[in-house]
Amino acid sequence: MGSKAQELTIEEIEKMKQESLSSKEIIDKIIKSHKSFHNKTVYSQEKYLNRKKQKFAKYFTVEYLSSSNLLQFLIDKGDIQRVLDMSQESMGMLLNLANIQSGGSYLCMDETGGLLVYFLLERMFGGDNGSKSKGKVVVIHENEHANLDLLKFANYSEKFIKEHVHTISLLVFF
């Protein structure tokens, strides 16, 4: 009965999708071409609409990547060596024992590609790129340049990172 009630063919619906019609326009046309849509109960109509929205309305939500989520992603990816076998619990304990808080100045050696600095910045500035809080992180590194590659996933601007994250070579430090 369902296929007989719908006058639009699959090919016509696919053509509408290729023409880049919005999902709302496609669903409206499907409903208009449905012979018995108006005979359905209100509950049945809503159920039908929800099924069509799930099928044709494609959308996604962008969420903030917290340092904990980044750590979990790296663990799930199997990059255990990069995070030096740290867990969220050990990172939380490290931040608490170091008494990391807003406005402080901290010296750290990050061998995790910037994950530790990511955690520090999140604890100090709450993920807010426009934070007026003062504070800085000085990163000691062994190589020519500090490896803070994971900071590219942070919500912080390049200017903000340059203002609050300073690097110094281990040789210069000693």
**Per-domain boundaries in the chain:** 2-56, 67-173
How many whole angstroms separate alpha carbon 165 and alpha carbon 135? Answer: 9
pLDDT band at 9 (very low <50, low <70, confident <90, very high): confident
Give 101 or 127, the one with higher predicted confidence: 101
| Measured CA angle at 125 (ends 163, 162), to 5 deg | 15
How many whole angstroms separate alpha carbon 174 and alpha carbon 167? Answer: 14
CA 99 to chain centre: 27
- For residue 13, the model assigns a pLDDT of 84
What is the DSSP code string of 76-105? HHT-TTTTTT--HHHHHHHHHHTT--TT-E
- For residue 165, the model assigns a pLDDT of 96
pLDDT higher than threshold 60 for residue 100: yes
pLDDT higher than threshold 80 for residue 59: no
Which residues are registered as beta bridge partners of 108?
139
- For residue 155, the model assigns a pLDDT of 85
pLDDT band at 15 (very low <50, low <70, confident <90, very high): confident
Q: Which residues of 96-108 are buried (b: 16+ CB within 10 A; e: fewer)?
A: eeeebeeebebeb
Q: Average per-residue pLDDT in the chain?
A: 89
Copy the structure tokens of residue 112: 């995790």
> Nearest CA to 49 among 72, 23, 15, 70?
23
Q: List pLDDT tens digits, range 112-145.
A: 999 999 999 999 998 888 888 899 999 999 988 9
pLDDT band at 3 (very low <50, low <70, confident <90, very high): low
pLDDT higher than threshold 50 for residue 56: yes
Which residues are registered as beta bridge partners of 55?
none
